[in-house]
Chains A and B, each alone.
Chain A
Amino acid sequence: MAVLTIPALLFGLMACGVVVALVMRRVPRQPAAATGDIPRGVARRTAVLRWAGVTIGVIVGIIAARSGDLGMGLLMAAPLFGLCALIGVLTGELTVRPPRGPTRTAAVEVRRIRDYLPRHLSRVVAAGGGVLLVLVIATTSAGAPDDMGHPGRSLARQCTFDTFESDGPWPGLFYTGRLVAVVLVGLLMAYVAVRTIVRRPRPDGTSDLAVDDALRERAARVVTGAVGVLIAIPLAGVSLTAAGGLLGISCAPMWWTVMGWGLLALAPASLAMVGWCVAAVLAPTDRTDLLARTR
């Protein structure tokens, strides 16, 4: 039963995302009280849906962490939280409807994804994703079945001609298979969310493009932060578990020990990245507030 909880949550989230996206496309446009209120109304609506996504993500993450066998739920909690946050952002962006009035204005501009992503955080998240990919490939290829037959759940080493030593848990195929699947789904959803952020129309009656651009930057920052959480927590978990495995083998070669200590050092860096990304999701500091205060 517990084994089915994570896939059920994942499919449930994906289904929710698809259903919400379809419903939001058909929702009639909400009338604004006045032209000047429109960016504020959009900001409020997107913020409510974003926070709803984050809140649901926390709940789903806690449920996931408490379920699943052999630490699987703990591994999946962060990616599921990130997925929920992404669905919240995506839903909020889809509520912005195209203009319907008789007079419609658009700027002659080319909006690109890179114009809205936070530069430093994006680079750190991309680097974290690269490290996780390399680490997952390495640990998956090095894993061996454990005593219960779970593929890749232990690290084995032939110490002498006729003696073997193994240590587990090891982040091999048993963990990485499902982890990679969830992370890939998250990355795909993040791409859809960022593309929606960039391509959505400007709210009807937007007189100041800087306010709308700031709203897009805020949403893109939350998406980047959610992807960062989705990557950094599994990175911390995989590196710590792999370090434990490498350092737990008594007949390990020197380079295993060096690698183990290197992976131990990676864990605090990953946790620092988690802190940065969580801050981006929960308390995005950008120029939206500044612009709102000045208008």
Chain B
Amino acid sequence: MTDRPALTVVTDDPTPPYEQLRRQLVDLIRYGVLTPGDRLPPLRQLAADLGLAVGTVARTYRELEAAGMVVSRRGGGTRVAAGPPPGSDPAKALRERAAAFVREARLLGADDDQIVSAVARELGR
């Protein structure tokens, strides 16, 4: 496995691929996985890796640039903008995500053991 952060696109998800990418990149920047100055993958490379049109990835990057989260320079690629405020405390964000996951699992009718085993399976244990 790799320690490089990953982006995942689910093509049968009703959310458009550019929006899926945008959300994931926003999270990576907000939680400090991508730090100011870090370079995002070139448009064509990311589009090829995900089997998407270049325009789809370009739209994601444009939206991130409009939000001031990344800066694009000709010849210099697209980099995380300097000084975007870290969204929140990562530990707190993790607790919030866990709470949301547990809430959704309960709605699906899962009990505690099933929730724990689902998490363990995702962690590869």
Contact = CB atoms under 8 A, between A and B. Distances in A.
Interface residues of B, number: 27
B99 interface: no
A108 B51 contact: no
Interface stretch (A98-106, A162-170, A248-256, A279-287): A98-106
Nearest to B44: A199
A150 B34 CA distance: 63
Contacts of B86: none
B49 interface: yes
B45 to A, nearest CB: 6
A104 B51 contact: yes
Q: Which of A105, A111, A210 has the most CB of B within 10 A?
A: A105
Contacts of A34: none
Contacts of B8: 103-105
Contacts, number: 76
Interface residues of A, number: 23
B12 A104 contact: no
A39 B37 CA distance: 32
A105 B7 contact: yes
> Would you call the interface of chain A mostly helix, strand, loop, or mixed?
loop
Contacts of B41: 106-111
A207 B6 CA distance: 11
A100 B40 CA distance: 23
A202 interface: yes
A202 B47 CA distance: 11
B32 to A, nearest CB: 13
Nearest to A209: B2
Nearest to B24: A108
B50 A108 contact: no
A204 B11 CA distance: 14
Contact of A103 (B10, B48, B49): B10
Interface of B: 1-2, 4-12, 25, 28, 34, 39-42, 44-46, 48-52, 77
20 contacts: A99-B50, A99-B51, A102-B12, A103-B8, A104-B8, A104-B11, A105-B8, A107-B41, A107-B49, A108-B4, A108-B25, A109-B4, A109-B41, A111-B41, A201-B48, A204-B51, A208-B1, A208-B2, A209-B4, A210-B2
Top 7 nearest A-B pairs (CB, nearest first) are A106-B49, A98-B51, A201-B48, A107-B4, A99-B51, A209-B2, A108-B5
